[in-house]
Amino acid sequence: MFVRRRTPPPGFEPGSRARQARILGRAILRRLVCFYDFRFGFLMFSINLLFRGSFLKLVASDLWRIYDGERKLVKCMVCERKCVIADKKTGFCWNYMNIDNKLYDIGYGLLSAIEPRPIEIKPLFHYYPNSWALTFSGWGCNFRCPWCQNYHLSWEKPLVNKSIKLEPSELVRKAIELKQQGLCASFNEPSIHISYLLDVGEEAKKHNLYLSIVTNGYMTIYSLKKLLETGYTGFSIDIKGCPETYRKFLGGYAEVIYRNARYILDRNGYVEMVYLVIPKVNDWRECYQWIIDKHLEYLGEDIPLHINRYYPMYKYNEPPTPIEELLEIYREARKAGIEYVYIGNILDETFQDTKCPKCGKLLIKRRGYRVVEWNITRDNRCPRCNHKISIYGKPFIN
């Protein structure tokens, strides 16, 4: 809850050193400041990040365990990093703090961006086609990708003075006002904001808005189960590469992503996989062949695979992915049996069209992330050969 102190607490009277520190923290840092009052021997968090004396909303997380009670260590269970966090410290993503042997979400409701976006830009091509989703993000990430295009959000700690502060009901109200068909958590890694996403989901369901997420897929089963139970159905999941990629650049385990994608599909959710092809990171034959094989092994042939072109960004400066390399991976994926393969981040938009996997008829033509031609029957079949086409949700076609 929001806490407002009407009278100075002990040790913070006018003229005291603690009060001077508080004023300095407000004026300069505008970040989380911990005041330790040695006279009384307790930790006091002066969460004075919001402007004009308002206070940050601390939300207790229920995804954690006691790791070592005597040493005041807790283990976060939000993502597969499962950070062990000491008292007064945060985990890898900066959003969870151990306060007196309990885990709190200190980034709750602090949004870094909000904007209406077509669902195709996620990319989610077969999920509520041609709809719009109010897209929102927070701060931080559980990976540190050197090539991150949203590094200004993902590599930042929760900063109140830079944030848009919205309660879940306010966010949903904005989606309704803007006539959006759904909501999408994106830009930074949204699964680290599990408490906020669940609260948004409960509000959105009251108004029949769909719930989607663009994610690196590295959450725990505990988090994923809660998202699915709350109503999140659309998942655009990044596969960063093969095991070597995760080991060398991310400090994670690649197969977790496919485990989670399978878990979603088994519980009536929907998944599309996104493979950003990066030179010297995940572009060699053994690596992309591993991705294709695991896609078919875990997900099946009718789950779309988006092969996207990389461009130099942030701390990674290799030249853009050669077009021929993208085409080679595209051909290999189609040859292996993946029915819906797309190439993104290139000028030729024909590689974003959907064709019937059986007869080759053009079914969905997309330009500028919008559906400009729709040739699928009402029961989602090819009008020429009657092949069943993978579509989740109602298409919004004029």
Q: Record the tokens describing residue 379, joined without a space.
A: 């029961």
Question: Burial code of 202-241, b = ≥16 C-beta within 10 A, e = fewer?
Answer: ebbeeeebbbbbbbbbbbbeebbebbbebbbbbbbbbbbb
Q: Do 169 and 20 share a domain, yes or no?
A: no
3-state SS, 319-384, equals: CCCCHHHHHHHHHHHHHHCCCCEEEECCCCHHHHCEECCCCCCEEEEEECCEEEEECCCCCCECCC
Q: Do 45 and 140 share a domain, yes or no?
A: no
Torsion of Cα atoms, 93 then 168 then 77 then 217, to 10°: -70
Whether omega for the bond prior to residue 357 falls within 30 degrees of 0, making it cis, is: no
Q: Do 40 and 129 share a domain, yes or no?
A: no
Average pLDDT, the chain: 89
Over the Cα atoms of the chain, what is R_g? 23
Give phi and psi for 274, each to the nearest 5: -125, 125
User: Quick one: pLDDT band at residue 290, thresholds 50, 70, 90?
Assistant: very high
Distances (CA, A) of 114 to 92, 187, 188, 211, 230: 24, 10, 12, 15, 21
Q: Kindly state whether residue 20 falls inside one of the protein's structural domains.
A: yes
Percent share of the chain, pLDDT over 70: 86
- Full-model pTM: 0.86
Give 316's contacts (C-beta < 8 A, 6+ positions apart).
146, 147, 278, 281
Q: Do 133 and 209 share a domain, yes or no?
A: yes
Number of domains in the chain: 2
- Cβ atoms of 73 and 64 within 8 Å: the answer is no
Percent share of the chain, pLDDT over 90: 84
Q: Do 205 and 278 share a domain, yes or no?
A: yes
Q: Do 201 and 308 share a domain, yes or no?
A: yes
Provide the residue range defining the domain that includes 135: 110-374
Q: Kindly state whether residue 335 falls inside one of the protein's structural domains.
A: yes
Give 312's contacts (C-beta < 8 A, 6+ positions apart).
147, 318, 319, 320
CATH number at residue 135: 3.20.20.70
Amino acid at 335: K
Q: Kindly state whether residue 223 falls inside one of the protein's structural domains.
A: yes
Which residue, 38, 102, 30, 51, is CA-closest to 73? 102
Q: Record the tokens describing residue 146, joined without a space.
A: 């050197």
Q: Kindly state whether residue 83 falls inside one of the protein's structural domains.
A: no
pLDDT of res. 316 = 97
User: Quick one: pLDDT band at residue 5, thresholds 50, 70, 90?
Assistant: very low
pLDDT at 28 over 70: no
Q: Kindly state whether residue 186 falls inside one of the protein's structural domains.
A: yes
pLDDT at 25 over 70: no
Q: Do 133 and 259 share a domain, yes or no?
A: yes
Q: Do 202 and 288 share a domain, yes or no?
A: yes
Please name the residue ranges forming H helices in 159-312.
Answer: 168-177, 194-205, 221-230, 243-245, 255-266, 285-294
pLDDT at 22 over 70: no
pLDDT at 55 over 60: no
pLDDT, tens digit, for every residue of 112-149? 999 999 999 999 999 999 999 999 999 999 999 999 99
Q: Kindly state whether residue 326 falls inside one of the protein's structural domains.
A: yes
